[in-house]
A and B are shown apart, each in its own frame.
Chain A
Amino acid sequence: MAVILDALVQLAQLLLVLALAPLLTGYVRKVKAHLLRRRGPPLVQPYRDLLKLIRKEVVLAESASWVFRVAPYLIFATTLIAAALVPTFATGLVFSSAADLIAIVALLGSARFALALAGLDIGTSFGGIGSSREMMIASLAEPAMLMIVFTLSLLAGSTQLSSVATFMQGSEVGLRVSLAMALVALIMVALAENARIPVDNPATHLDLTMIHEAMILEYSGRHLAVIEAAASLKLLLYLSLIACMFTPWGVATTGQGFAAYAIGLATYLLKLAAGGFLLAVFETVTAKMRVFRVSDFLGAALMLGLLAALLLFVSQSA
C-alpha cells in the first residue's frame, strides 16, 4: 500500500512539473512585460501556443533524416525524467534511487546532445552555428554544474538528490562559504543552460547571436511544440533544483500525509513565483553579452564551483 502511495506521489510530481512548466514560462514573460510597462500576453499563452503548434502541419526540410524527427521526443523524454527526479513538494521519491545528481546532469547532457545533432541535421549555417555555440557553452557549464554537485554531495555525504535535500532541511547545515559560492555558480549555470540573458536571448530571432533558437530554427508544428515544452521543463527543473537545495523550507517527505503535501505544494508555488520574478527582474536589468564573453562568465562559474569543492576537500578530514 505504502509503495503504491509513494508511486502516486512520484506520478503526481511528474504530472505537476509537466502542467506547471508552460505556466512558469508565461509568468516570467508576463513579469518582464510589466517591468517594461507593457501588458504582455496572458499567463496561459504558452499553453495556447503549444496547442496551436500541435494542430499545425509539419514542414520538414528535404535534407532532414530520422535524427531530426526522433530528437524532439528524446529531448522531451530525458528532460521530463530529469525534471521528475528533482523534488518539488516532497522528497524521498521512489524513483530517486535510479539516478542521482550526476545522472541528472548527464540526462540533461543527453538531451543537449540530441538537440545539437538535430541542429546539424538539415545542413544549414544557422543550425550549425547554434549547435556549435551550444556545445561550447556546455563544455564549461557542465563541469561547473558537476563541481556544484560535488560541493553539495560532499556536504551531505551523498549524491542522491533526495538525501541532499533532506540534509539541507536539517539544522546542521548552517551558513557556509562553499554553499554561497555554489549558489552563485548554480545561478550562473542555470542562466546559461536555459538560454537566458545575459548568455542568450529567448525572445530573439534573426539575430546572429542567437544560440538555442538557431538550433531549432527548422522545427515546426508538433516537433516544435515538443521542443518548446522541453525548454519550459528545463527552466522549471533548474528553478526547482535551486529551490529544493537552497530554500528547503516546507518540503514534505514522502509518507507524511496530505496536509504536509499541501503545505509543500503551496510553498513550492511561492518559491517558483519568487524565483521567476527574480529571473525576470535580472533579465530586464541586464544586457546580453557577446558570445565570446560567455566563456569568461561560465569560466567564473566553474572556478567558483571548483573553489567551493576545494574548500570542502580541505576542511574535511579523515
Chain B
Amino acid sequence: MVLTVLLSCVAVLLGTAVAAVAGAGRRATTPFVYSIALVVSAAALAVAGWALLGSGPADSVRLPIGLPWLGAHFRVDAVSALFLVVINLGSLTASLYGLGYGRHEPTPGRVLPFFPAFLAGMTLVALADDAFTFLLTWEFMSLASWALVMAHHRHADNARAGYIYLLMASFGTLSLLLAFGLLAGTSGDYAFDAIRGAVPSPIVSAAVLTLALLGAGSKAGLVPLHVWLPLAHPAAPSHVSALMSGVMTKVAVYGFVRIAFDLLGPPAWWWGAAVLTLGGITAVLGVLYALMQHDLKRLLAYHTVENIGIIFIGLGLALAFQANDMRSPAALALTAALFHVFNHSVFKSLLFFGSGAVLTATGERDMERLGGLIHRMPLTAFAFLVGSTAISALPPFNGFVSEWLTFQAILVSPNLPQWLLKFLVPAIGALLALSAALAAGCFVKAFGATFLGRPRTDVARQAQETDAFSLTSMFVLAALCLIAGILPGYFIDALGSVTQQLLGAQLPQQTGLQWLTIVPIAESRSSYNGLLLFLVIVAAAWVTAYVIRRWASGALRRAPAWDCGFPDASPMTQYTSASFAQPIRRVFGSVAFHAREQVWMPAPGQTLPARFHVTMRDLVWDAIYAPVETAVSWAADRLNKVQSWTIRAYLTLVFGAVVVLLMVLAVWQ
C-alpha cells in the first residue's frame, strides 16, 4: 500500500515534469507545477511518516522495467521511510515557497520541468532496492539537479559551477558503481537482498567502504570532495538551493548508511576511525570556510559541509561501537546522527528560503551590500534568526539536541578497546565543540551583516517584505525547529525502528518519562529537558520584563547612536562581514588558508588612501585538484598529437593494442 502510493507520487511528479515542458511559456505553468508538487509531497510525507511510525513489515515490489533479467526492485523499510520523510518535508516546503518565489523567476522554462523531476529522483533513490535502480535513479537525481544549477547559465560563475558539479557527480557515481560491482561479486546478482546475504572478504569490504565514502561523500560534501558544493548550491534558484543543501546531501547520507550499515555486513573498528576522522575534519574546515565568505548563499552552502561533518561523526561513532558489539551506544550515536539529518534539513531549508527572500527583495547575495533588513523585512528576519539560532546548536532549539546526543555518545566511548579510537575520539570531540562555537560566530556574522545595523546600499534601504507563500513556508520550518528542540523525545522514539533495523538496538522509550525529559542512557548519567528549559527561560525573561516595567522608569528617547562620541555618518563605516571575521581569520585562517594581510601605507605627506589586502589560498584545491587539473591538461596536450597521425600510425597503434591485450589475457589465465 505504502509503496503503491509512493510510486504513484513519483509517477505524478514525472508526468508533471513532462507537462511543464508542454506548457512552457505559459504563465499558469508556474503555479500548476508547484501546486502539484506541493500536494504530491504532502501525500508522500504523510505515507512515509505513517510507514516510519507504524513500523509495519517492509513493503517491496518488483516492476518489469529496467534490465530484463533484473527488473526494478523497490522497497520501503524503516530506513528509507525516515529519509523519505526528510525528502518530502523538504519538497513540501520548497514547493510552497516556490509558489511565491517562482513568480520572480526570469526563465521559468529552465526550472519548472526539472523541479518535479528532481523531487521524483530523490524519492526514487530512497525507494530503490537493487544496485542498478539505485545507480540509475541516483544519476537521474544528479542530472536533474545539474539542470537546475544551470538554470541561469549565462552567468559565467554558474557555468563553471555546473561543469565542476557534473565532473564530481560523475566521479561519485563511478565510485558507487564500482562499490556495487564489488558488493554483487562474481555472481552478479544486483538485488539488495542478495547483496545482504553475501559475506564479502575483509579486503573487499574495505574497498567497498572506501568507494562508498568517495561516492556518497562527494555528493554529501565530505572534505576534500566538497569543492563543487559551495559553487553549485548557491547557483540554483533559492528553493532548489534549499533542496540541494538541505535534502540532497541527506540522500547521499542515506546512500552511505544503506551501504555501510545495511549491505556491507558487520563493520570493522577502523571503519569507525576513518569515518570519524573525515567527519571531524569536515566539520571544522566547513565552518572555517563558511566564516570567510561574504556571499550569503555560499556561506550557507559551506555550512552544509560542516553539518555533514557532524552527521558523519555520529555515523563513525556508531560504526566503532557496532564493531565492538556495543549495541546501545551504537544506537545512541546513530540516533544522534539521524536526528541531525532531520534537524539540518529543517534549518538549512529555512535559511536558504530566507536568503532567497533577501535575494528577491534586494537582488543581492553579497552581505557587504546589505544590512538593516530587519526594519524592512521583520518577518523574514525573525524566521532567519530562529534558523540561525538552531544551526548554531543553541538551546532550546533542535540543533542543540542532536549535538548534545553526539556529545553523550562521545562520553561513552572510553569503553572502546582500541587504542587508536581512545586517542581519536576526544580529539574529535574537541573538533566538534570547536565547530559548534565557530558556527555561532558565523551566524552572528551572517545575521548581523544582513539584517542588523544600517543599510549599506539603496537596494537594502528599499527592500520589501517577501510574499505570504514564502513566509508561511519559512514559519512552518521555524516552528519545527522549536518543536523538535523542546519535544525531542517524540522524534527520538520515531528513530527507534530505524536503529533497530540497522543495529538491532534502540534507545529506551523517551516519551513516557516524567516531564518529557530525554534520558539517552540512564537517569544518573545525563538528561535534558528542552521543554522545561524553554518554559523557564521564557518565564524568567517575562518576570524580569514585568518587574522592570512595574518599577523602573519607562521613559525612552530616540537619539542618534552615541558610538563613544564619534558617530560615523556613513553606513559604510559599520563593521562588515569581512571585518567581523577578521579576528577568526587571524587565529585560524593563517594556518587553514595561509591567510596573509598586507597593509600599504602612503609615505608621510602623500595624500593617497591606505590599502589593505588579504590573500587566502584554498589548500584543498591547491593540494588535490590543481595537480589533477594540471595532469589532465598535460596528458591532453600530449594526446593531442595523436589526432594528426597518419593512417599507418593509427593501424600500428590498433595492432599493438590488440597484441598487448591478448598477452595480458594469456598471462592472466
Q: Using Cβ atoms and an 8 Å threshold, which residues of chain A touch B422?
A: 313-314
A300 contacts the other chain (CB 8 A): no
Any chain A CB within 8 A of the CB of B669?
no
* A62 B525 Cβ-Cβ under 8 A: no
In the complex, the answer to whether A317 meets B417 with C-beta atoms within 8 Å is: yes
Give the residues in chain A near B452, CB-CB below 8 Å: 65, 67, 117, 120-121, 123
B544 and A77 contact, CB distance less than 8 A: yes
Complex partner residue of B563 from A80, A98, A124, CB under 8 angstroms? A124
Instruction: Verify A106–B395 contact, CB threshold 8 A.
Output: yes
Whether B582 is near chain A, meaning CB under 8 Å from some CB there, is yes
State whether B580 touches A58 (Cβ < 8 A).
no
Given A98-B517, A317-B417, A222-B444 contact (CB < 8 Å): no
Scan residues 149-189 of chain A and give those whose CB is less than 8 A from a CB of chain B.
150, 153-154, 157-160, 163
Note all chain B residues with C-beta closer than 8 A to A81.
533, 536-537, 540
User: CB-CB contacts of B413-433 with A at 8 A, as 1s and 0s?
Assistant: 111110100110111011001
Closest chain A residue to B575 by CB distance? A128
CB distance from B117 to the nearest CB of A (A): 40
B646 CB to nearest chain A CB (Å): 65
Could you say which of B394, B416, B527, B584 contacts A110, with CB atoms under 8 Å apart? B394
| Cα–Cα distance between A153 and B412 once the two chains are bound (Å) | 10
* Least CB separation from B563: chain A residue: A124
Please tell me if A282 contacts chain B, counting CB pairs below 8 Å. no
**Neighbour of A73 across the interface among B433, B434, B532, B544, CB < 8 A:** B544
Chain A 99-142, CB-CB to B under 8 Å as 1, else 0, gives 11011001101101100110011111111110111011011111
Interface centre among A56, A122, A123 (most CB of B within 10 A): A123
With A63-B372, A103-B404 already in contact, the answer to whether A135 and B395 are too (CB < 8 A) is no
Chain A residues near B448: list those with CB within 8 A: 116-117, 120-121, 128, 131
The 8 A CB mask of B199-242 against A (1 = contact, 0 = none) is 00000000000000000000000000000000000000000000
Q: Which residues of A contact B437 (CB under 8 A)?
A: 109, 138-143
**B419 nearest in chain A by CB position:** A314
Contacts A59-B557, A63-B372, A163-B524 given; indicate if A313 touches B423 (C-beta within 8 A): yes
Which listed residue, B434, B454, B517, B561, touches A139 by the CB 8 Å rule? B434
Q: Digit string of B571-586 for contact with A (CB within 8 Å is 1, else 0)?
A: 1011100011111101
Shortest CB distance B476–A (Å): 22
Q: Does A265 contact B (CB under 8 A)?
A: no
Please provide the chain B residues from 551 to 576 with a CB less than 8 Å away from any CB of chain A in the complex.
Answer: 551-553, 555-564, 567-568, 571, 573-575
Q: How long is the Cα–Cα vector from A314 to B423 in the complex, in angstroms?
A: 7
Say yes or no: A97-B575 contact (C-beta < 8 A), given A55-B552, A110-B389, A306-B426.
no
Residue of A nearest to B374 (CB): A65
Docked CA distance A100–B537 (Å): 15
Size category of the binding interface on chain B:
35 or more
Q: Name the B residues within 8 Å of A141 (CB-CB).
A: 437
Answer whether residue A244 sits at the interface, using C-beta atoms and an 8 A cutoff.
no
Given contacts A76-B541, A158-B524, A310-B426, contact A56 B433 (CB under 8 A): no
Q: Which residues of chain B have C-beta atoms less than 8 A from A121's C-beta?
A: 374, 448, 452-453
Is the pair B556, A57 in contact by a Cβ cutoff of 8 Å?
yes
A100 to B556, CA, bound (A): 39
Quick check: B404 and A54 within 8 Å, CB to CB? Answer: no
- Assess whether B394 is in contact with A106, with CB atoms less than 8 Å apart: yes
Say if the beta carbon of A285 comes within 8 Å of chain B: no
Contact A62 B561 (CB under 8 A): yes
Given A77-B544, A292-B586, A217:B563 Cβ within 8 A: yes
Q: Are B441 and A313 interface neighbours, CB within 8 A? A: no
A106 to chain B: closest residue by CB: B395
Inter-subunit contact A100/B434 (CB<8 Å): no
* Alpha-carbon distance A23/B570, docked complex (angstroms): 42
Query: Whole-angstrom distance between the alpha carbons of A313 and B433 in the complex?
Result: 17
* Chain B: CB-nearest residue to A131: B444
Most chain B CB neighbours (cut-off 10 Å) among A58, A106, A146: A106
Asked if A1 is an interface residue, CB under 8 A from chain B, the answer is no
Are A135 and B440 neighbours in the complex by a CB distance under 8 Å? yes
Interface residues of B in 522-552 (CB under 8 A from A): 523-529, 532-533, 536-538, 540-541, 544-545, 548, 551-552
Q: Which residues of A contact B116 (CB under 8 A)?
A: none
Q: Which of A129, A206, A217, A222 has the most CB of B within 10 A?
A: A222
Nearest chain-B residue to A61 (Cβ)?
B561
A residues within 8 A CB of B553?
Answer: 54-58, 221-222
**Complex formed: what's the CA distance from A73 to B559 in Å?**
22
A192 at the B interface (CB under 8 A)? no
Give Cα A165–Cα B372 distance, bound, in whole angstroms. 46
Q: State whether the Cβ of A291 lies closer than 8 Å to any Cβ in chain B.
A: yes
B337 is an interface residue with CB less than 8 A from chain A? no
State whether the Cβ of A74 lies closer than 8 Å to any Cβ in chain B. Answer: yes
- With a CB–CB cut-off of 8 A, which chain B residues contact A237? none
Sample of 8 A–B contacts (CB below 8 Å) = A61-B559, A67-B374, A103-B528, A110-B395, A116-B444, A132-B582, A163-B525, A318-B416
Seen from chain B, the residues whose Cβ lies within 8 Å of a Cβ on chain A are 371-372, 374-375, 378, 385, 389, 392-395, 400, 404, 407-408, 410-411, 413-417, 419, 422-423, 425-427, 429-430, 433-434, 436-438, 440-441, 443-445, 447-449, 452-454, 515, 517, 523-529, 532-533, 536-538, 540-541, 544-545, 548, 551-553, 555-564, 567-568, 571, 573-575, 579-584, 586-588
4 closest A-B pairs by beta carbon, nearest first, are A128-B575, A123-B453, A57-B555, A120-B448
Seed contacts A98-B517, A98-B532, A150-B426; 13 additional CB < 8 Å A-B pairs: A56-B553, A57-B553, A58-B553, A77-B544, A97-B529, A123-B453, A132-B580, A136-B583, A143-B430, A146-B407, A157-B524, A218-B561, A312-B414
